[in-house]
Amino acid sequence: MTRPLTASRLDLLRPDEVARLGGLEVVTDGIVEGFLAGLHRSRRRGFSVEFAEHRQYQPGDEPRYVDWKLLGRTDRLYVKQFEEETNLRAMLVLDASASMAWTGAVERLTKLEYATRLAAALALVLLRQRDAAGLITFDETVRSITPARARSSHWTSLARTLANTGPGSATAAEPALRQVVAALRSRGMVIFISDLLLDRPLTLKALKYLRHRGHQVLVLHIADPAELELARGDETRFRDPESAAVVTLTPSEWGAAYRETVRGVVRAWGEACRASGMRYALIPTDSPFGTALGHALKA
């Protein structure tokens, strides 16, 4: 018997356990309910909803914000200041190329399944913070564009698109990245979600261009644990899901070299992103969603 969604923190469960509890909408809502502790706030002060502090009255301040009770007690004029909620415009850019369909174990979600759930959860967090969220999906070309909206009802459209996003048949190429860049006209935050099995110079060029145009850029590198380290075993045949290239090797002989190569690639992506003023986070597909959301929101 499946436990109620409120029985535990879904964001702390293993991703495959979460996925078995229901559809994308139910799962994502449960993940966010478990994770979200409250609205994020800016350091700016305005006249909004949540009280922040008092400050001394200055000529020109609106009388309606004067704390008349405090005036009666202290005989001094103070106005109430409130915390101003940020109004962020975020576009989730999701790689749905063929390599995202891969998983290294039958009990784990594919990279695309994990990424769609993570994207849906991020969108829900943003909308609950009254920020605008949109979505672009792409493989060798842009497949869908959902404009950024701040209405809470907008999440249904985003979730429906994500639920219907299947893997493409090829890798992302220059035309797709050009289309992505062209579609991101309004300055805001770009959350790029991909396994980064892409042409690195070309992809970095596109992301740097977005940064140059004033976007905040966050790169979420989705990786299956089996990609990060070769499992032990006998001679094994490996096949590239996009190019169909095949190589046969013995993990015990090549494991150390493979590990160092992968670490070098991850390090190179991280250093290149940070050097250009972008945030980067490596997210294995066996990470609890709460951990992944924490990486994204912290960045």
* Distance in angstroms (rounded) separating the CA atoms of residues 111 and 12: 18
Q: Say if residues 189 and 160 touch (Cβ distance below 8 Å).
A: no
* Distance in angstroms (rounded) separating the CA atoms of residues 251 and 233: 6
Q: For residue 195, what are its two tokens?
A: 């396994």
Mean pLDDT of the chain: 83
pLDDT in tens, 265-288: 999 999 999 999 999 999 999 998
Q: What is the pLDDT of residue 81?
A: 67
Q: How confident is the model at residue 94 (pLDDT cuts 50, 70, 90)?
A: very high
Q: How confident is the model at residue 208 (pLDDT cuts 50, 70, 90)?
A: very high
Model confidence at 100: pLDDT above 80: yes
Model confidence at 36: pLDDT above 90: no
What is the rounded average pLDDT of the residues 73-96?
80
Cα–Cα distances in angstroms (integers) from residue 268 to residues 95, 129, 229, 274, in the given order = 20, 33, 17, 10
pLDDT in tens, 121-176: 999 988 887 789 999 999 999 999 999 998 888 999 999 999 999 998 888 778 89
Q: What is the pLDDT of residue 86?
A: 52
What is the rounded average pLDDT of the residues 170-186?
87
Judge residue 129's burial from the number of C-beta atoms within 10 Å of its C-beta, 0-12 exposed, 13-18 middle, 19 or more buried: buried
Q: For residue 222, what are its two tokens?
A: 């989705």
Q: Which of 194, 250, 247 is nearest to 222 (CA)?
A: 194
Domain 5-39+87-298 has CATH 3.40.50.410: yes
* Segments of the chain assigned to CATH 3.40.50.410: 5-39+87-298
Q: What is the pLDDT of residue 204?
A: 96
* Distance in angstroms (rounded) separating the CA atoms of residues 124 and 131: 10
